[in-house]
């Protein structure tokens, strides 16, 4: 019984990391989630190194009427003046925090259980 509870606990932790949230047009997303299902025109991910706080991440979905995605290409770049890492994506996985490794591990674990 204890091994079943332990396995269930591991599955819950892995599912939390691979969770994809529905990010509505123009709304802010939590840093621990992903904008893979962003309903807006694009997802903007900003990573800042703040003294005393460490690294902070902000995700937001850009509304369809914003023009930022027209002038900036998809992908990640680092601002030289501030050191901020900016990622803009509409169809790719640049903004996601969940990795393929955790998804593969979850599927493998479920396969072994059933």
Contacts 24+ apart (CB under 8 A), 88-91: 88/42, 88/43, 88/44, 88/45, 89/35, 89/42, 89/43, 89/45, 90/38, 90/41, 90/42, 90/43
The answer to whether the CB of 9 falls within 8 A of the CB of 111 is: no
Pairing between strand 42-50 and 85-89? antiparallel
The number of folded domains in the chain is 1
- At 18, is the pLDDT very low, low, confident or very high (cuts 50, 70, 90)? very low
The kind and range of the H/E element at 105 are: helix 100-113
State the residue range of the domain holding 36: 2-113
pLDDT single digits (tens) 63-113: 767 666 566 677 788 888 888 888 877 654 445 544 444 555 555 655 565
């Amino acid at each position: 019984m204890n091994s079943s509870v332990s396995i269930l606990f591991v599955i819950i932790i892995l599912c939390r990391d691979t969770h994809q949230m529905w990010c509505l047009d123009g709304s802010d997303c939590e840093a621990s989630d992903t904008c893979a299902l962003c309903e807006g025109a694009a997802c903007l991910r900003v990573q800042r190194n703040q003294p005393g706080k460490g690294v902070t991440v902000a995700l937001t979905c850009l509304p369809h009427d914003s023009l930022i995605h027209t002038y900036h290409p998809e992908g990640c770049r680092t601002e030289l003046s501030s050191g901020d890492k900016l990622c803009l994506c509409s169809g790719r996985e640049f903004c996601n925090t969940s990795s393929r490794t955790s998804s593969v591990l979850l599927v493998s674990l479920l396969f072994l259980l059933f």
